[in-house]
Amino acid sequence: MSVQNLNGLNLFFVAAEGPPLSSEQDALDLLGETYGTETDVIVVPVTRFAPDFFDLSTRLAGHFFQKLENYQMRLAILGDISGPMAASKALTDFVGETNRRAHHFFAADTAALEAGLGRKR
């Protein structure tokens, strides 16, 4: 993990290596890791999520996002999810709506992350 400032926000970058994330408890554990860091946004590499995280029928993504939102923490998922999106209109719609709301968002790369963090919420 590392903390960086970007566009006036403190970003907590989750390590690319580690156990897969998917549950509400995983979201709480991430929140715990940010304690005392004045984090504004938790940035998680797409590779850290469990394989079925992006299958919306499992409800894992929705519960994970909601848990962070309940604690007023923003989440950015960093990496390419074009494969799962191509296979799921529901996921494509979820990503679009999530990015439109701009509390949490998906960023394919660091340029998209920086652009997304520059948006007004």
* pLDDT for the residue numbered 6: 87
Domains contained in the chain, number: 1
* pLDDT for the residue numbered 118: 73
Helix or strand or coil: residue 5? strand
* pLDDT for the residue numbered 96: 95
Give tens-digit pLDDT for 50-104: 989 999 999 999 999 999 999 999 999 999 999 999 999 999 999 999 999 888 9
Q: What percent of the chain has pLDDT over 70?
A: 98
> Backbone dihedral region of 21: left (phi > 0), alpha (psi from -120 to 50 degrees) or beta?
beta
Which band of pLDDT confidence, cut at 50, 70 and 90, is reported for residue 16? very high
43 lies in which domain range? 2-117
Do 59 and 90 form a contact (C-beta atoms < 8 A)? no
pLDDT at 31 over 60: yes
* pLDDT for the residue numbered 119: 58
Is this structure's pTM higher than 0.85? yes
